[in-house]
Homo-oligomer: A and B are copies of this chain.
Amino acid sequence: MSIDRKQLIIEAATKSFSLFGYKATTMDQVAKIANVGKGTIYTFFKNKEELFDEIVQMLIAEMKQVAEEAIDPQDSFHENVHRALFQLLQFRKKHQLSIKLMQEGREMGTPAVLEVMEKMEQAILTFIKEEVSKAIDAKEIKPCNPEVTAFIMLKIYVSLIFDWEQKREPLSEEEIAKLFELYLFQGLSI
């Protein structure tokens, strides 16, 4: 048998999704880039959306790895969460495919893309929630609802990293870490 055709298709589709987005990627184009007959794609994937989903699954796995690499059991919980969330959002901010998908989700509202963005957010929330639960068990932080806490943490990070610099000077990583520490861990009370 020649080289793995499924791999070729995945690589071609990833390239095209990253370059043009989901809607603007045609199956003919993917076949052409992969040097494969169009029908061949359908022997490996039920349809366009399933091909897309498989690629996004890989993206989520990559993100999970980035997050896990940011965790150092020696460090405190909030240093770990800060590093993990920061790395995660930087990843999302820099990776070609993530960027294209976020654009397409916002600007065109492509349903398949919105669905996939949900999944990515859910994956991040699950990861953080797990870390929060561990920290509560280890009595590193006060008892609290891990789901709400993970949700708030992610929202604060997205706010500081994406929303704030929409209209203002971007904040440096250290500033973000300090703010996170102040608001979420120390608290504003005197």
A residues neighboring B (CB under 8 Å) = 78, 139-142, 144, 148-149, 151-152, 155-156, 159-160, 163-164, 179, 182-190
Decide: A141 and B189 in contact? CB cutoff 8 A.
yes
Closest 8 CB pairs of A and B: A187-B187, A155-B159, A141-B188, A185-B189, A186-B187, A185-B187, A185-B188, A142-B188
A151 and B159 contact, Cβ closer than 8 Å, known pairs A183-B184, A188-B185: yes
Of B144, B159, B182, which is within 8 A of A144 by CB?
B182
**A164 contact set on B, CB distance < 8 A:** 148, 151
Q: So how many copies of this chain end up in the complex?
A: 2
Chain B nearest CB from A110 CB (Å) reads: 15
In angstroms, Cα B159 to Cα A179, docked, is 18
Bound Cα distance from A121 to B164, whole angstroms: 13
CB contacts (< 8 Å) of A160 on chain B: these are 152
A142-B190, A148-B179, A156-B156 are known contacts; what are 11 more A-B pairs with Cβ within 8 Å?
A139-B190, A141-B190, A142-B189, A144-B188, A149-B188, A152-B160, A155-B155, A184-B187, A185-B189, A186-B189, A187-B189
Q: Is the CB of A155 within 8 A of B144?
A: no
B residues in contact with A148, CB < 8 Å: 164, 179
Q: A152-B179, A179-B148 are in contact. Are A190 and B159 (CB under 8 A)?
A: no
Contacts of A184 in B (CB 8 A): 183-184, 187-188
A55 CB to nearest chain B CB (Å)? 24
The answer to whether A190 and B140 have CB atoms under 8 Å apart is yes
Least CB distance from A79 to B in Å reads 12
A188 proximity list for chain B (CB < 8 A): 78, 141-142, 144, 149, 184-185
Q: How far apart are A146's CB and chain B's nearest CB, in angstroms?
A: 11
Determine the chain B residues whose CB is within 8 A of the CB of A182 once the complex forms.
142, 144
